[in-house]
Amino acid sequence: MSDTAVKHGASMEGHIERTHEEIMVIIVALMLAMLLGALDQTIVATALPRIATDLHGLDKLSWVATAYLLTSAISTPLYGKIGDQFGRKKIFQFSIVLFLVGSALCGLSQNMDQLVAFRALQGIGAGGLMSLSMTIVGDIVSPRQRGKYLAYFGAVFAISSVAGPLLGGFFTDSLSWRWVFYVNLPLGILALSAIATRLHLPVKRVDRKIDYVGASLLTASVVPIILATVWGGVTYPWGSPTIVGLFAGGVVAATAFVFWERNQPEAEAIIPPHLFKSSIFSVSVILSLLAGVALFAAILFIPEYQQVVRGYSAIKSGLLLLPLVFGMLTALVTTGRLITKWGHYRLFPIIGTLVTAIGVYLFSHLSLHTSQITLSIWMIIIGLGVGSFLQVMTLAVQNSVPRSELGVATGTATFFRSMGSSLGGAVFGAVLTNRLTYHLVKLLPSFGSNSSAKLSQSVINGITPSSLSQLPPSVTHDIYEAFVLSFHDLFLLAIPVLLIAFIVSLFLKEKPLRETTTGPEVV
């Protein structure tokens, strides 16, 4: 046994008994790290117009977000696998340093090409923040106690979704868009210091080959699919050869990835296929994907309704999303504590998916005059639903696999949730655009004529109060009505998705939550 192991109270099996206070110091550091990765998915959005102006790169603006999304999604499962092989603490520290370096370079960028490149670098670090922070919780807390701690991370994810655009707007208006990136540095350094001094993880180093071919095929499948979801309906029509080709290429590469992984030694595969033989793992991963779809649809399109139909600013619409966050926080904390108390988790995804479906059904009754109080109640219901099962999937996955595969299993679940968010935004965005065109033509037949083509495109791409003020009141009313009807269709489509999630949750089996964590060595 090493001196470090003795110093931290490890047994011969490597288990470390930690007090709640010791755990919370580590948890706070992990939450800070995860906050950095989650926040940077949204904080840049409100700063993009100013960035495009200062760096003279409007044509490359979308790549500022896309580059980060691509590299963070690709690296998430890779970090899980590498952490299992070489130990998570040093790999996690590396990801934090990489993220901070990328953040500093983003803030120093002098042109758009530099910013895009450094955002990609930042995304590589963020993949480790998102994946390994959740995995390390599994290293330091037993599954029985883990529910109440995982709730904190779900809260970080929920809060960052709302706080990101608000902080981005504040820094851009009050200081400079460069502070959108510089703000990461003090928080990251604080997290890095706490991890270095307080985190001591059981780890067993193993000498295995890294599956470079599998990693390449995974990259080749993820990149075109994400690009298609980002570009579809915006840069290129959904039925264009470019988008169809990207989806086809992604599917071909994904198929090749599956065949390759099935023929690799289980210990070396990036995402070991045998994990999916566990029904708990398979069901949890599917629910993670559907949770990403549900959460992203709510967070993205409810504020869009507030901005378009109500005419609220981006900041105000973000603040008005707080009831949804309140509902999520309440459910996350309550669910986590009940799981720790009862030792059972299966009931919560069943209830959560059903409650979320009810909340989405209520939003399918939006009108031009729905009161803000009513909207807030509906948001609380969706928040309670999503919060009831958002983090339970991670707990179920971690409890179903051996410790040696804790990282790759957690990384895979996180990866599927990220892909669900990307696909959810793309699918529902396409539905909103297509149904908006349909309802505009139906309510305003002249929108189908050549004389109104410019106005129609303007409405679809982004409606503004200034542009509406130039139209007759009757036309303005019909445009708003078309938007409301389009939101009806969007939320109605989301209901079957959540009902599928509810049916899938019924197949989730329960495995007794372990009371301890174990490990061979402390570093």
CATH number at residue 42: 1.20.1250.20
Provide the residue-wise pLDDT of the chain in tens; the chain has 523 residues. Answer: 333 333 343 433 344 566 777 788 888 888 888 888 888 877 887 787 788 778 877 667 778 877 888 888 888 888 888 888 778 888 999 999 999 999 999 999 988 889 989 999 999 999 888 888 888 888 888 777 777 777 777 778 777 877 787 788 788 778 888 998 998 999 889 888 888 888 776 555 556 677 788 888 988 988 888 888 777 776 788 788 998 999 999 999 999 999 998 888 766 778 888 888 889 999 999 988 887 777 766 667 787 788 777 877 767 777 888 898 889 888 988 898 888 888 889 999 999 999 999 999 999 888 888 899 999 999 999 989 988 887 888 888 888 888 778 888 888 888 888 888 777 777 787 777 778 878 887 877 665 554 344 444 554 455 555 566 666 777 777 888 888 888 888 888 888 888 999 999 999 988 887 665 554 333 3
C-beta neighbour count of 321 within 10 angstroms: 23
Measured at the CA of 229, the angle between CA 227 and CA 233, to 5 degrees, comes to 110
Residue 242 placed within a domain? yes
The pLDDT of residue 9 is: 39
Q: Characterize 329-366 residue by residue with b for buried, 16 or more Cβ atoms within 10 angstroms of its Cβ, and e for exposed.
A: bbbbbbbbebbbeeeebbbbbbbbbbbbbbbbbbbeeb
Residues 161 and 229 in one domain: no
Residues 187 and 302 in one domain: yes
Number of domains forming the structure of the chain: 2
Phi/psi for 438 (5° steps) reads -60, -50
| The last residue of a domain, from among 224, 240, 263 | 263
Residue 454 placed within a domain? no
Residues 312 and 365 in one domain: yes
Residue 444 placed within a domain? no
Residues 118 and 193 in one domain: yes
Residues 139 and 254 in one domain: no
Residues 297 and 379 in one domain: yes
Residues 165 and 284 in one domain: yes
| The last residue of a domain, from among 230, 263, 296 | 263
Residue type at position 111: N
Residue 478 placed within a domain? no
Residues 256 and 299 in one domain: no
The pLDDT of residue 398 is: 86
Residue 380 placed within a domain? yes
Residue 96 placed within a domain? yes
Residue 42 is classified by DSSP as T
| The last residue of a domain, from among 226, 247, 263 | 263
The rounded distance, in Å, linking the Cα atoms of 264 and 177 is 46
Residue 350 placed within a domain? yes
Q: Could you tell me the residue range of the domain that residue 231 belongs to? A: 212-263
Residues 207 and 221 in one domain: no
Residues 378 and 410 in one domain: yes
Residues 246 and 365 in one domain: no
Residues 314 and 193 in one domain: yes
Give me the half-sphere count of Cα atoms (radius 13 Å) on the Cβ side of residue 456: 21
Residue 473 placed within a domain? no
